[in-house]
Amino acid sequence: MLLLKLIGLALLLFIVYVVVALIHGTLTDFKPDDVIQLDLDSTSDEKVIQDSVLTFANWNVGYSGLGAESNFFYDSGGFLTSKGKMIRAPKKNVEKNLNGAVQFIQDNPADFYLFQEVDLDSKRSYHINAHQKYTDALPGYASTFAVNYKSARVPLPVCEFWRVMGKMHSGLGTYSRFQPTESVRYQFPGSYDWPDRIFHLDRCFATHRYPTASGKELIVINTHNSAYDDGTMKKQQMEYLKNYLLKEYNKGNYVVVGGDWNQCPPGFQYDSFSPGKGEGYSQINIKEDYLPNWKWACDEKVPTNRKLTDVYEKGKTFTTLIDFYLLSPNIEVLEVKGVDQDFQYSDHQPILMKIKMNE
């Protein structure tokens, strides 16, 4: 009888915990405006782009918590429990990954750095302000931060309330050698149903407008599209983005988009790097006719993303390519190169690019 009472009490406490977590999440749910002007967190003295040749670095830095020694409970089917998988990496690993990203910046000078999953103040990265670290590593660069994940407390996994993901404040960090005349966050359309939506990312893209010596503007866009959906939200997001891109290109501007698309570029076989190792994993492709005459820039020899069902093992872990660039027809791709780090610092790998803006 006592055992039944204890079981009943435990069940009641669990139900109360879930209800309180849902109420708290709903009341504190981050609901960004569709369009938000971004502040400059640092500035540059270079006001006009004089050179037609520019360099870019694009990287989802995995909030400094997803290096080669990490797995992740959510990618392993965990929702109620972590099932022995990581919820957050040890602090020494987070610091190692963050230092690796700073070293990458120092080793790979570029005019523009487009980073995704940059934590500002999150429990999972021990409340270290990674955006400030990257800004400090790039003196003389202009920087902006566009939030796409903000929650007072993410109560996952549900059955492990003593070590849930907790507070989240993360987003897109963009760093440029030039001063933008305008930086804007655009909210992507589409969302999950309640209650999932209160604990998922608010997907967005960040645009930055730069004057050039030719009189045209260069529009640089940092994007992070949806991951955990059946493709419905991706379709909405891609249509919304396309309308924005065509509007800017039709003005005569140059347009560069870089980011984590969470889908493969047109025509790329998703399991090219790991045939037979997908373990039920699949990835959709962007449609071939998405933007005719525009250019997709990727390095098909280097994977940019790996599965997090377990720690990384070269040749065994499933890898694919979902990080790349899209460029308007008036831009020439001079070079594009994936940086193979054996996923030491993130579950994604950087991709470098050199372009030429044509008259």
**146 shares a domain with 258:** yes
Q: What is the DSSP string of 103-138?
A: HHHHHS--SEEEEEEEESS-GGGTT--HHHHHHHTS
Q: What is the pLDDT of residue 159?
A: 79
Q: Give the whole-angstrom CA distance, residue 161 versus residue 192.
A: 23
Q: Are 316 and 293 in contact (CB under 8 A)?
A: no
Q: Give the whole-angstrom CA distance, residue 140 versus residue 175.
A: 10
**223 shares a domain with 97:** yes
Listed in order, strand segments (DSSP E) in the chain are 35-37, 53-60, 112-119, 142-154, 166-176, 182-187, 204-211, 217-224, 254-260, 295-297, 305-306, 319-320, 323-327, 331-338, 351-357
Q: For 162, phi and psi rounded to 5 degrees?
A: -80, -10
Q: What is the pLDDT of residue 77?
A: 66
**Hey, how many other C-beta atoms are within 10 angstroms of the C-beta on 23?**
11
**Hey, how many other C-beta atoms are within 10 angstroms of the C-beta on 358?**
11
**10 shares a domain with 150:** no
Q: What is the pLDDT of residue 96?
A: 98
Q: Give the whole-angstrom CA distance, residue 180 versus residue 211.
A: 8
Per-residue pLDDT of the chain (359 residues; tens, 9 = 90+): 777 777 777 677 667 766 776 666 666 667 899 999 999 999 999 999 999 999 999 999 999 999 999 998 877 666 677 777 899 999 999 999 999 999 999 999 999 999 999 999 999 999 999 999 999 999 999 999 999 999 998 887 877 877 889 999 999 999 999 999 999 999 999 776 666 666 668 999 999 999 999 999 999 999 999 987 777 899 999 999 999 999 999 999 999 999 999 999 999 999 999 987 777 777 899 999 999 999 999 999 999 999 999 999 999 999 999 999 999 999 999 999 999 999 999 999 999 999 999 98
Q: Which CATH number do you get for residue 106?
A: 3.60.10.10
Q: What is the DSSP string of 8-67?
A: HHHHHHHHHHHHHHHHHHHHT-----SEEEPPPSB--S--SB--SEEEEEEEE-GGG---
Q: What is the pLDDT of residue 232?
A: 87
**91 shares a domain with 70:** yes
What range defines the domain where residue 22 resides?
1-30
Q: What is the pLDDT of residue 208?
A: 98
**Hey, how many other C-beta atoms are within 10 angstroms of the C-beta on 241?**
21
Q: What is the pLDDT of residue 2?
A: 76
DSSP code, position 95: H
How many structural domains does the chain have? 2
Threshold 0.75, pTM exceeds: yes
Q: What is the pLDDT of residue 5?
A: 74
**108 shares a domain with 17:** no
**236 shares a domain with 307:** yes
Q: Give the whole-angstrom CA distance, residue 156 versus residue 17.
A: 12
End-to-end Cα spacing for the chain: 83
Q: What is the pLDDT of residue 3?
A: 75
**239 shares a domain with 167:** yes
**318 shares a domain with 196:** yes
Cα angle vertex 304, ends 330, 219, to 5°? 30
**102 shares a domain with 36:** yes
User: Tokens 């909210």 map to which residue?
Assistant: 187
Q: Give the whole-angstrom CA distance, residue 359 versus residue 355.
A: 13
**58 shares a domain with 15:** no
**182 shares a domain with 74:** yes
3-state secondary structure of 148: strand
**76 shares a domain with 4:** no
Q: What is the pLDDT of residue 158?
A: 76
Q: Are 276 and 296 in contact (CB under 8 A)?
A: no
